A and B are shown apart, each in its own frame.
Chain A
């Protein structure tokens, strides 16, 4: 299958049902990570997983719906704007998944780094516009303050602030996605392929 095939916009019923499940997985992942006091967010597993399993568009919609939903029901609006980051993450993860990067562990980790760089590039302008460049995470903001003190510029400082946190978080996200894809039955993965489904519109 070519890359163009992966980007053909197909809204199958399976894909649509995948979206709320992906949002739920994001939420529950974040909750469990919180309960276990893990030092990362693990809040985009569902987005990445849906992009890998159901293609970049379903992933992108899951990401956007995720942020709009939580922005409008729980955390007060700010996360809606970060929906753009979720969409970018899903598109990159979807392409890499299509190229088979989530079938081997080293490539999945590399995919995590690429996803993290994408997230940092897209989030930095938002961080600068909303928070003057900070992210609200202690480690990252300490680096930000240090770099600002050395006059390294708000953009570079903010990018490093976001990037450091993202690389750790997204690599682990992608590692978890790799493990899950490993555990999924082939029949399930195939049901998202265009030719084999009986419940396609």
Chain B
């Protein structure tokens, strides 16, 4: 049974020294800035910063793999926009019968910076932050505990479901189900595995609901926390700084 999340615990400052909520603020600010930042130099600076943080967290290699995952799509964006962007006027170069235009390439460059920046910033968050700790922090800052339950239980449900899928698949294969064949045959195998899994997990919902109710899930009292996670010093300042920079970038965008 493998973990479904990309988080790996490590002993770096980004992992241990920055609290989960601050990293969440960092991610949200980065997404806003990726859209708002007006110049290529700004976007490039942001990318260097993101990669720097990733290197600091010793997750550069894994995050570059994630970024490379979207590379093919980015390349096709350059091709399609360079050739066919409606705003294309200025000819950049000609390759045989193919004309590549400057406007399309610039547009593709804007998009690529945006995408890569968002992915890099999410890598900072995703790879260095325990999802359970994020939910813990969010519930402390006023998220309803029920929402906390929903997200935490996803992390428990998925491995359980994958185990039951493996079991159902073996059972069906022993009854003669084939994993290959044409699309229709494979779709029938899909139903043979997927159907029992869904039905059994839906039926278990009632049991879960009763089990939760018995433990006071709907009680309207104030919840207490089992473990205490103190927020490291200076993090409130860092959050404020991140918000200020984001506002500044948005203002810069509106002004330029």
Seen from chain A, the residues whose Cβ lies within 8 Å of a Cβ on chain B are 11, 13-14, 16-21, 23-25, 27-29, 31-33, 35-39, 42, 45, 49, 53, 65, 69, 71-74, 76-78, 80, 129-132, 134, 136, 141, 144-145, 148-149, 151, 153-154, 172, 176, 179-180, 183-185, 188, 191, 199, 201
Contacts and interface: CB of A to CB of B under 8 A. Distances in A.
Interface stretch (B10-18, B205-213, B233-241): B205-213
Contacts of B122: 71-72, 76-78
A28 B161 contact: yes
Contacts, number: 180
Contact of A154 (B86, B108, B119, B134): B86
A91 B198 CA distance: 21
Nearest to B193: A32
A77 B126 CA distance: 9
A73 to B, nearest CB: 4
A191 to B, nearest CB: 6
Interface string B115-155: 10011011101100001001000000000001001110111
B242 interface: no
A2 to B, nearest CB: 26
A33 B190 contact: yes
Given A72-B126, A77-B119, A184-B199, A38 B4 contact: no
B150 A78 contact: no
A23 B154 contact: yes
Contacts of B150: 16, 19-20, 65
A77 B31 contact: yes
Interchain residue pairs A-B with the least CB separation, the first 4: A77-B122, A148-B84, A73-B5, A201-B218
Contact of A14 (B114, B162, B197, B205): B205
29 contacts: A14-B209, A16-B150, A17-B212, A20-B150, A31-B165, A36-B190, A71-B122, A72-B126, A72-B131, A73-B5, A73-B7, A73-B126, A74-B5, A76-B122, A77-B122, A78-B70, A130-B111, A136-B70, A136-B72, A141-B76, A148-B83, A148-B86, A149-B83, A176-B194, A180-B195, A180-B199, A183-B195, A184-B202, A188-B205
Contacts of B123: 76
Contacts of A31: 162, 165
B88 to A, nearest CB: 10
Contact of A42 (B84, B190, B201): B190
A13 B217 contact: yes
Nearest to A187: B206
B213 A199 contact: yes
